[in-house]
Each structure stands twice: as structure tokens, then as C-alpha cells.
Amino acid sequence: MKTEILKINDKSIEKAKKILLSGGIVGMPTETVYGLAALGTDGEAVKKIYEVKGRPSDNPLIAHVHKDFPIEELVFVNNDYAFELKKLFTPGPLTMVFESKGKVCKEAVCGGDTLALRIPSHEGCQRLLKAVNAPIVAPSANLSKHTSPVTAEHVRRDLDGKIPLILDGGKCTGGIESTVLDVTGKIPRILRAGLITREMIVKAVGSCEIAEHKEGDRVRSPGVKYRHYRPNCETALADSAEEAEALYLQCVKDGKKPYIMCDGENAEKLKGYNVLNLGNTGEEIASNLYDKLLEGERVADEIIAISFNREDGVYLGIMNRLRKSCG
Ligand code: AMP
Ligand code: MG
């Protein structure tokens, strides 16, 4: 199969819509990462997503809808705070898990009774969702376990020849996946950290828990138990610039080509070494993280990431990704 990459316009959206409505799957941009999309009501199409990615069959998908879609057609909204969060943070990188009404196929929710729902803010994605006017389910558009794609070219590298079309909507601005929030209980509970932070949710609705994924627990968000986001090269996670420097020099001694991935401040300290500079603010770092990992895997034998050693705000999501990709 030939994989076309088309810039988003009326014609390419019409083409993507046609493919989706006839049971195919396509790559689509969102503001977080690129997704691999299928019509959420088409079980056979959804199976293709799992096949193409090599995704574990017990890891459910997020359903995406446009901003005017009546979500009560798909889910029961049992708590008023969910309406408030929807008003404040959508369209945007917040996925809320509701009790499902069963309209999205069982293949997408892995037979479960909940549905994860998201309203992306990416303009091109909104146009596609509006054109289809039905839930589109999509995980990230990478091979399972690999780093999530943030450009159409990243998607092509993983899925070339396996899907007919990738809609090109430019580089994702968010850079890490959406926050996944369980809104079925009295208090909202973060299942996966992301750009909508615990602090933002507490400020908006008064409280927010963070789900702990302990050994032996019933895992509420199956995806969090898997290895994830790994670049195709060796990796290491250092606690400090000094430790990274020592690892770097050892690599060089061993005849390998290392790169250090770090924030702007450490990049300045480590001038003269091969560096992947993530930038300075939390938002900037999140936005660059996967792009730099995917750049790194092409030039480095080993990426040595320096830990941020903090978990406040967006750093909770960043450190979660960093530990899984480089730890
Ligand atoms: P991905 O699309 O690969 O970024 O992964 C989506 C994330 O959402 C995974 O961690 C899934 O386990 C999680 N997820 C999807 N649907 C549900 C659901 N119904 N309940 C809990 N977590 C979910
Ligand atoms: Mg993924």
C-alpha cells in the first residue's frame, strides 16, 4: 500500500473522511501528538489499528469528537464538575473517562464499560471531526512502544506502507499525550498526567487525586502499565549534569556516539558536547520532548537524558514520559 501525506485542506479532509467511512484508518494531527484514526463505531476498522501498531489488545482507545458534538449521546455525565472541566479545558489536551453508553464499539474500549473522550483543539483535526460528525478513536500513530510522533514525517517513518493516508497538520504544539482523567467518581482522578495539570484541575473544581499504580492494583488505565515512548537507540537517565557528563565520557571511551538531552540551562553548561536542547519552560520542554527523542535516535548511539527532579505542574507528565522512554 502506498502511504500518501497530504496537507490539510477541503480536498484531503474529504479523502480522509471517505477512507474512514469505508472502514479504513488514517494518520491525523492533534495538538498533543499524531493519532491513528478509525471510525469509533466500526469494530473491523478498529481492529486494524491494533494490528498496524502491534498494540496490546487490552489497552483501550480514546474517542475524539468535535467541539459541538453532544457528548451525552456517547456517555453518562454523572458529576457536575465534569461539565465545568469541559467548559474550561476543552477543546484541549484533556481526556475524560465516563461511563459509556455503548455506542463506541467494544473493540475500542476492550469490552469495558467506560469511554475515554477528548475534544482536540487542533484546527485541522476539528475540521476532520466535524466532517465525519461521529466519534473517531485514535491512539498515537506510532508502532507500539516507540516514541509518539509529533510530525507527519514521524508517522511515515513508523507506518509507511501500512496506512493509505497521513493528514499533515504541522508540528504538534503540545508534544505529550493528553491528561487522562477519571470523572466517574466524586473526585476527579488523574490516570495519566499531561498538559492539563493537577494544579489546574484543583483550581477549577476544588480537588483532584492522582491514581497510584501499585503492583497488584486493578489498573484503571491499562496503558500506564506498558513500556512506552522508547527511541530506537540506547538510553540512560542521569540525575544531574555531572552524572550525565560522566556517562557521556564513558560512552565516548567505549567508541559510542552519545547525546545529552536536557533543558536550556544544562545545555549551556555542557557546551562542546553533543546536546539535544529541550528548552526552558515546562511547556517548551513537553513540546520538544518526543521531537528531540526522535531526532536523537537518528544521530546518537545513546541518549543520556538529565532528570528534571521535579513533579509539579506539567513536570509530572514530562517525568512520567522521561522515565518510560529513557529510564
Ligand atoms: P494512547 O492513545 O496510546 O496515548 O493511550 C490512551 C490512554 O488512555 C491509555 O493509557 C489508555 O489505557 C487510556 N484509556 C483509554 N480508554 C480508557 C478507559 N476507558 N478507561 C481508562 N483509561 C483509558
Ligand atoms: Mg501511545
Q: Tell me the per-residue pLDDT of 205-223, one tens digit each, with 9 for 90 and over.
A: 999 999 987 655 555 666 6
Ligand 1 lined by 178 (C-beta under 6 Å): no
Summarize pLDDT for 138-183 with one digit per residue, the tens. 999 999 999 999 999 999 999 999 999 999 999 999 999 999 999 9
- Atom of ligand 1 lying closest to residue 220 CA: 21
Q: Is the separation of the CB atoms in 152 and 167 below 8 Å?
A: yes
Average pLDDT over residues 236-251: 97
pLDDT given for residue 212 in this prediction: 82
pLDDT given for residue 145 in this prediction: 95
Contacts of 290 (CB under 8 A, 6+ apart): 33, 147, 148, 149, 150, 154, 175, 176, 229, 321
In degrees, to the nearest 5, what angle opens at C-alpha 125 toward C-alphas 106 and 280? 110
State in Å: Cα 149 to ligand 2 middle: 9
- If you average pLDDT over every residue of the chain, what do you get? 96
CA dihedral 21, 22, 27, 28 (to 10 degrees): -10
For residue 226, the ligand closest to its alpha carbon is 1
Please name the helix (run of DSSP H) or strand (run of DSSP E) that holds residue 55, with its range, or none: none
pLDDT given for residue 220 in this prediction: 64
Residue 68 has pLDDT above 60, yes or no: yes
pLDDT given for residue 219 in this prediction: 54
Q: What is the pTM of this model?
A: 0.96
Summarize pLDDT for 280-300 with one digit per residue, the tens. 999 999 999 999 999 999 999
Residue 114 has pLDDT above 80, yes or no: yes
pLDDT given for residue 226 in this prediction: 65
Hey, what's the cell of 105? 464499539
Torsion-angle region of residue 92: left (phi > 0), alpha (psi -120 to 50) or beta? left
- Atom of ligand 1 lying closest to residue 177 CA: 4
Q: Is the separation of the CB atoms in 292 and 322 below 8 Å?
A: no
What is the separation, in whole angstroms, between the first and last Cα of the chain?
36
Residue 327 has pLDDT above 80, yes or no: yes
Mutate to test the pocket of ligand 1, among 31, 52, 62, 224 (most ligand atoms within 8 A of CB): 62
State in Å: Cα 139 to ligand 2 middle: 5
Mind spelling out the 3-state secondary structure of 283-323?
A: HHHHHHHHHHHHHHHHHCCEEEEECCCCCCCCHHHHHHHHH
Provide the β-strand partners of residue 39: 136
* Distance from C-alpha of 181 to C-alpha of 196, rounded to nearest angstrom: 10
Ligand 1 lined by 97 (C-beta under 6 Å): yes
Q: Is the dihedral of CA 3, 55, 177, 205 positive or negative?
A: positive
Q: Angle formed by the axes of helices 315-326 and 282-299, to 10°? A: 20
Provide the β-strand partners of residue 189: 182, 209
pLDDT band at 16 (very low <50, low <70, confident <90, very high): very high
Task: Judge if the upstream peptide bond of residue 91 is cis by omega within 30 degrees of 0.
Answer: yes
Ligand 1 lined by 59 (C-beta under 6 Å): yes
Ligand 1 lined by 192 (C-beta under 6 Å): yes
Strand locations in 40-102 (E): 62-64, 75-76, 94-100
* Distance from C-alpha of 248 to C-alpha of 257, rounded to nearest angstrom: 9
Q: What percent of the chain is modeled with pLDDT above 90?
A: 94
State in Å: Cα 138 to ligand 1 middle: 10
